[in-house]
A and B are shown apart, each in its own frame.
Chain A
């Protein structure tokens, strides 16, 4: 601490009537709080002095999506992704990299490796352009197949973007714009790739990164000065994705009154409440009001919701002569009749000849692993997509 300021002396009056113990501390703190502006300015001056003295935060200078050095290295080592190859050179022994399509990879931080070289780091504006390229030209492209490969590529390159942001301690508008798109992409992917084999898409890895990015984004909203025009959307998405979580719910409850009463968050809270109260009829009814990306965020909880319905009905309608019409149940579950019948069978609920259900609490069973395919029951979300393009969904201009 090499400050040039003279150390502050405690005034004589305070010393004279210094009370014993805790009181002294309390008074001192109160006085400190009251000093406000002059205080803040002084501390800020110290900060700028400190920055010149301490090690500076790395500032990137690379203006391309992929640093020149990396592109060269990967070209030589034949480690280009097919989306990064110069058109026409894909089949030769050593394909050439296209500097307009190559994107910096994610690499694990390793001891001895210097990841702070400015020529390898992309400044925030370039990072945002990179993300937009990944969305518009890769994720939303109608020509690139299969989408699992598209996802893997975009997922990895977004991770690289995040890494550059962390090393340069990026904050502010660019940071939030990047995180917002990342979160929307990962939420969309969680819905679109639901049910794909594990070696092509791992929902847990997707979830980890989604939660990290979401958490960082919500922290930005909390600590950076506003306005944040998309905050309502993302707070609601966060709750829908983490439906039923006490932590997520408490977080929403602690937001400002104005935010909490906004339409998207009000709806998300009602759905959350219905889920926690185990009222699947209400929950599914409210879910119909969600838009597409909100539906994507919610979709994995629909499985639990439908299961809950079958479970409580198995108990509530459990009597020998009970007959519940399949059509009615299908309506409640937002499914067509044949799908509803399939779902019932998966849970041990008997469907008789006249398309009537015979509920019995003894008969209800959890379906065996792999027997239930969430994807088969996606229609409630799918029908919301309509004419929306992938690009618009992820950029958020719907």
Chain B
């Protein structure tokens, strides 16, 4: 493969097309295949040769691919991505397109040129047109339908949208897949990836119950051997579960090398605001990089609730002096909190349904319900 001539290569492509051998053809157009290392195939202007031996549209496609190999051999990823569009062929090409766009991004960033995200956005536009073609394919029968490409393309697009931080663009894709009758018939791997991204989107929109559903599905159906993928899913599943009141075990955290969550978990369940703040700042970089820092901050409200519940359990009365809560916060080294803020925090917990009761300003007391004043977290949305 590394020594064949351009004519021999084109002949192989022609044969593959003629025999409807989609997967071999895809290989011949993929950058994962060793033929791309062959300098004889790295041509700056292969169009004539391709036109001689192949029919349109294949001549164009292959010519583009060969120009691509030329560009890549010259480390010019910007040029390469410009030359990148049968489903396995499309899969392979679009995957490479996204990867090239990534490299082109990095290359541009190094030179300090261009708007960040520009290359990826352009790649996304191209993928989106592929998606529209697939989604509107009503002609062929189910086996040949281009609709099978929809989930793959969505997943590629999700990756880009998350990278360039334009999550709102995921919505039309989700809607299209949801309304498709094929949605449960895609391959397990594609479904796992899909649910992972939809789960993350739901998290971002603060829809925690659906987020838990999607991410749990992805985690349980993810192949046991891909530890790395399971860990990635867990990074997003854990905060959601914690917000719903389910703390992970140390075992689980150790198994997937996610001990950064250990202190967070401990502090939330103990109502220890001090430890929570320390844990969040200690692993700040990691949490920010994963994009979960902001979600974890939401755990503060849960932590307040747990702390105040402790105060209630300690005092064993239904009429709790506000001062007691103030003292508990001062013990957590929150020195700039005063009694007004305590009332505000309590009022918010009551509003959110975490505490059943009311505040009496005249008596400076929190009066809680005699029955279940701190409802379980999972019952409060």
Contacts and interface: CB of A to CB of B under 8 A. Distances in A.
Interface stretch (B56-64, B171-179, B216-224, B336-344): B336-344
Contact of A39 (B75, B341, B350, B351): B75
Given A25-B32, A250-B294, A316-B359, A40 B110 contact: yes
Contacts of A246: 204, 294
A53 interface: no
A312 B73 contact: no
Contact of A312 (B70, B71, B351): B351
Nearest to A28: B72
Contact of B112 (A224, A254, A324): A224
Interface stretch (B36-44, B132-140, B184-192, B325-333): B36-44
Contact of B361 (A9, A29, A322): A322
Interface string B13-35: 00000000000000000011110
Contact of A15 (B33, B37, B111): B37
Interface residues of B, number: 49
Interface in A1-41: 1, 7-10, 14-15, 18, 20-22, 24-25, 29, 32, 35, 39-40
A65 B177 CA distance: 54
Contacts of B33: 21
Nearest to B32: A21
Contact of A315 (B42, B115, B351): B351
A279 B2 contact: no
B5 interface: no
Interface in B358-373: 358-362, 367
Contacts of A1: 44, 71, 79
A318 B301 contact: no
B350 A315 contact: yes
Contacts of B88: none
Given A7-B74, A15-B2, A40-B111, A282 B39 contact: no
B344 A273 contact: no
Contacts of B300: 277
B344 A280 contact: yes
Contacts of A223: 112-116
Contacts of A219: 115-116
A319 B358 contact: yes
A154 to B, nearest CB: 27
Contact of B348 (A35, A225, A278): A278
A96 B225 CA distance: 80
Majority secondary structure, A binding face: helix
Contacts of A396: none
Residue among B115, B294, B344, B351 having the largest count of chain A Cβ atoms under 10 Å: B344
Bin chain A's interface residue count.
35 or more
Interface in A346-394: none
Nearest to B42: A7
Contacts of B358: 316-319, 322
Given A25-B31, A311-B351, A250 B360 contact: no
Contacts of A22: 32
Nearest to A283: B344
Contacts of A15: 2, 37
A7 B73 contact: yes
A276 B206 CA distance: 12
B165 interface: yes
A312 to B, nearest CB: 4
A8 B111 CA distance: 21
A352 B119 CA distance: 63
B116 A222 contact: yes
A125 interface: no
B294 A317 contact: no
Contact of A323 (B70, B79, B294, B362): B362
25 contacts: A9-B39, A24-B37, A225-B112, A247-B165, A250-B165, A253-B293, A276-B294, A277-B300, A279-B345, A279-B348, A282-B344, A309-B344, A312-B347, A316-B351, A317-B358, A317-B359, A321-B360, A322-B358, A322-B359, A322-B361, A322-B362, A323-B361, A323-B362, A324-B361, A325-B361
Interface of B: 2, 31-34, 37, 39, 42, 44, 70-71, 73-75, 79, 103, 110-116, 165, 204, 288, 291, 293-294, 297-298, 300-301, 340-341, 343-348, 350-351, 358-362, 367
